[in-house]
Amino acid sequence: MKILNIKNGKTVLTYLAVLLIGILIGWLLIGGTEENGGQESLSTDHAAMDHAEGTIWTCSMHPQIQKDEPGNCPICGMELIPMKEDEDDGEAGQYSVKLSNAAMKIAEVEMTTIQKKAPYKEVYLPGKVMADERNIAELTARYPGRIEKLMVNFTGQEVRKGQVLAKIYSPELVTAQRELFEAIKFKETNPSYYKASRNKLKLWDLTDAQIDQIEKAGDVDFYFDVLSPISGTVTMRHIALGDYVKEGTALFQVVDLSHVWVMFDAYESDIPWIKMRDKIKFSIKSIPGREFESTVTFIDPVLNPMSRVAKVRAELDNPRDLLKPEMLADGILKTMLPGSGDQLVVPKSAVLWTGKKAVVYVMTSDHNNMFQYREIELGADAGDYYVIEAGLNEGEMVATHGVFKIDAAAQLKGEKSMMNPEGGKVSMGHNHGAMTGDKKATSVSDHGAHNMSQEEPMIMEKDMQVSEIFKEQLTEVYLVHLELQNAMYVADGSKVKIEASDVKESLEKVDMSLVKGEMHNHWMMGLPKLTVALDRIKGSDDIEEQRLAYADFTDALYSVIKMFGVVNETIYYQFCPMARNGEGAYWLSPVKEIKNPYYGDAMSSCGENKEVID
C-alpha cells in the first residue's frame, strides 16, 4: 500500500513539472509575440506621431492612393508611406508626376533632348497623270457643210500632223473657189482682188498647198480635207458620217501624249513646304516597281474651297506612251521649310493631343524621374517632328516613349493629364484587387521592408504589362470598327447603326479582368467613352450626328490603342481639318491613302496622316 502511494506521488510530480514547463514556454512565446506586437504597434504609433498633422499617406506603387492616416494599399496591400515633399511639390511644382526607377524601366520610358534642327519633311502628294494642256488641239468646222467621208472612225486612233481626218462638202467653199478662178483672170491688173480671194480660203483653214493645188487643177473641188494640226491621239470624235455641221461645230480633239503633266493635290498644311523646282519622286499604281522623277513646275495660287487642296504640277517626257491620262500617282517630295534654317523641334512621339492643345511631359532638370505636364504651341509638321513655336527650350528633355503610361499615372494621381485636362481626382471604378489586399499586406508585413522593395518591380510589372489575349480582343474591336467607318464613308445611316451594334458587341467581348492595377483603371475610364459614343451613333438617324459621335469614338479608341496596343496591325492616324464644323476630327485607317469618312465621295482625299501606330 505504501509502495503504491509512493509511485502515485512520483507520477503527480512528473505531470506537475511538465505542466509548469509548458506554461513557461507558452508564456515566453505569447509574451514575446505580444512584446513584438507592442513594439510594432508602438513603431506605427511613433511613425504616425513623427509626421505632422495633415501628412498624406500613399502607396509607392499606386500614387493615386492618398489617405490622411497610415494603413495598407487597397489595391496591392502594401503598407502606405508618407508622401515625400518632392512627390507633392518638388521642382516641377503643380501638374507633375514622379515614377520610380522600376516603373521607368517597365514602362520603357525613353527621353529625347530638345535641340535645333533643319526641319525636313517628306510630303505625301496623291495625284494623277494628265495631258499637257498646251498639246491639246480642238478641231472645229470653219465653214458649214456635210461630212461626206470619215478617215477616223474611233477614238484612241493615232494620227500624224497633216493627216486627213474627214472630207466635207461645202457649197460656200465651191463658191469661194469660183471667185478665186475669176480673180486669177485679173491677177495682173487687180492683184489685191486675187490676194483677197486666197485669204478667204485661208480663213476657212485651207493651207497654201491646198490653194495652190486648186489653182493648178483649174477645176472646182467639191470635197475638202480636214487635216490634223498635230501628231497625237484622237481622244474625242464629235461627228458621224453624213452629219451636217455649222461653222464652229466641234469635229475632233487630238492630244499629243509624248509630254504629260502629273497633277498632285497638296493639302493646305503642306503648301508652305513646297517650292518651285523641288524634286518629286512618284510611282504609278498600275506600273508597280517603277519609280519616276520630275520637278515642280507650277503651284496653284488658289485653293479649292471644298477640298482645301492646291494643285502642284510636275512634267515629264512620255515617248513610249507609258503614262496615260487619269493614271493614279503617289508622290513623295522631300524638302526643307523655305527660309527656316535650324529651328527647335520636338519628336511627334512625344506629343499628346487634347483637342487642339498639344501636351508633352518634360523631365525636371534634376533628372529625378519627375515629369511635368506642359502645354506647348506647335508650328509646321516636319515629318517625324513638329517645329516648336513656344513652350519648350533647347536642352530640355521630353519623354518620347512610354508617354501614355506617364499620362495614365498623372491621371490616376489626380494631376492634369491628356484625358483629364482640368486635373482633380478621378473615379477608380470597381476594384478587383481589394479582396486579396489583406493577404498581400500580411505577406509584406511578414517579410519586412527588404522584401517589399523586391516586390515593387513585380507589382509594377503586373500592373503595366498587357495580356496578349487582351491585345487580340482590342485588335478585333479595331478591325470590326473599320466596317462602321466604311458605312460612314458611303453615308448609309441604317448600315451605320447596324455596324455600330457590331462594334459594341465586339467591345463587350473584351475581358477587362486580363488587365490589372493601373492599366485596368485606365481601361475602365476609356470604356464608358467608347460605349457612350456607340450608343449615340445607334440612337440617331442623322448621318451628320452619327459622324460627330464617330469622331468622339475615334478619339477614345485611339487613346486605348496607344495605351494597350494591337497585334500585327499598322494603323494610320489621319486628320481632316474641316470636320466637326471646322474644329477637325481624326480617324484610324489600315492604309496610308486618305479616304475621309466624314465627307465621303464629296471630299474623299481631304485629310493627312498625323501618326503611324505599329
Question: Lowest-confidence range among 20-24, 54-58, 81-85, 269-273?
Answer: 20-24
Question: What's the chain's average pLDDT?
Answer: 79
Q: Region 317-340: what's the mean pLDDT? A: 86
Q: What is the pTM of this model?
A: 0.54
pLDDT above 90 (res 494): no
Proportion of the chain in helix, strand, coil states, percent, rounded to 5: 40, 30, 35
pLDDT above 80 (res 13): no
pLDDT above 50 (res 52): yes
Q: What is the pLDDT of residue 189?
A: 83
Question: What 3-state class would DSSP assign to 380?
Answer: strand
Q: What is the pLDDT of residue 3?
A: 43
In one-letter notation, the amino acid at residue 312 is V
What 8-state DSSP symbol labels residue 72? B
Looking only at the bridges linking them, the beta strands covering 343-347 and 232-237 are: unpaired
Grid coordinates of 561? 490603342
Which range has highest mean pLDDT (73-77, 208-212, 403-407, 568-572)? 568-572
Question: What 3-state class would DSSP assign to 138?
Answer: strand
Grid coordinates of 406? 506617364
Cβ neighbour number for residue 307 with a 10 Å cutoff:
19
Q: What is the pLDDT of residue 26?
A: 55
Q: What is the pLDDT of residue 295?
A: 94
The model's confidence at residue 74, banded by pLDDT at 50, 70 and 90, is: confident
Q: Looking at per-residue confidence, does 283 or 352 come out higher?
A: 283
High-pLDDT (> 90) share of the chain, %: 26
Rounded CA-CA distance 556/298 in Å is 41
CA distances from 53 to 69, 86, 280 (A): 9, 18, 69
Chain-centroid distance of CA 482 in Å reads 14
Q: Region 184-207: what's the mean pLDDT? A: 85
The model's confidence at residue 142, banded by pLDDT at 50, 70 and 90, is: confident
Rounded CA-CA distance 414/549 in Å is 27
Q: What is the pLDDT of residue 53?
A: 57
Chain-centroid distance of CA 151 in Å reads 54
> Which candidate, 520, 419, 468, 368, places its Cα nearest to that of 62?
520
Beta strands in 68-114 (DSSP E): 81-82, 96-98, 110-113
pLDDT per residue as tens digits for the range 210-257: 888 888 888 888 888 888 999 999 999 999 999 999 988 999 999 999
Q: Looking at per-residue confidence, does 163 or 415 come out higher?
A: 163
Which phi and psi (to 5°) does residue 453 adopt?
Answer: -70, -30
> Which candidate, 172, 159, 161, places its Cα nearest to that of 207?
161
191-203 vs 208-217: helix crossing angle, rounded to 10: 120
Question: What 3-state class would DSSP assign to 585?
Answer: strand
Rounded CA-CA distance 363/370 in Å is 6
